[in-house]
Amino acid sequence: MEFFKCTKCSEEYVFRRAVCHKCGSEEFTGVDITQGTAIDSVHLIATPEPMPDDYSVVMFQTPNGARGFCRTVSEIKRGDRIRITVDEYGPVCEPE
């Protein structure tokens, strides 16, 4: 999963920004995020096609503090370390 990192202060963002809110820089680079820590999750049982009928959406935090979302069919609890990949529908996570 690609995040964006300020080249001046290393602040990470899920989406590219025009200006870093921390230092004001306009220079960013892409960073591939492959791990994080689960902050919370919501279990879904009624979902739109083509998603499975039973999965969870997990809010996670990267090692540098940026936050994002991924989905999983595995049981992931708050504080669990996770591995993050991407498929055609977006970020997917599994316990480490």
Look at 27 and 65; give whichever has higher pLDDT.
27
Q: What is the second-level CATH architecture of the domain 33-96?
A: Beta Barrel (2.40)
d(CA 29, CA 6): 7
Nearest in space to 68 (alpha carbons), one of 47, 53, 90, 44: 90
Q: Are 36 and 82 in contact (CB under 8 A)?
A: yes
Show Cβ contacts of residue 44 under 8 Å, excluding neighbours closer than 6 positions: 54, 55, 56, 57
- Looking at residue 54, what is its pLDDT? 87
Q: Where are the domains of the chain?
A: 1-32, 33-96
- pTM for this structure? 0.84
Mean pLDDT of 61-72: 93
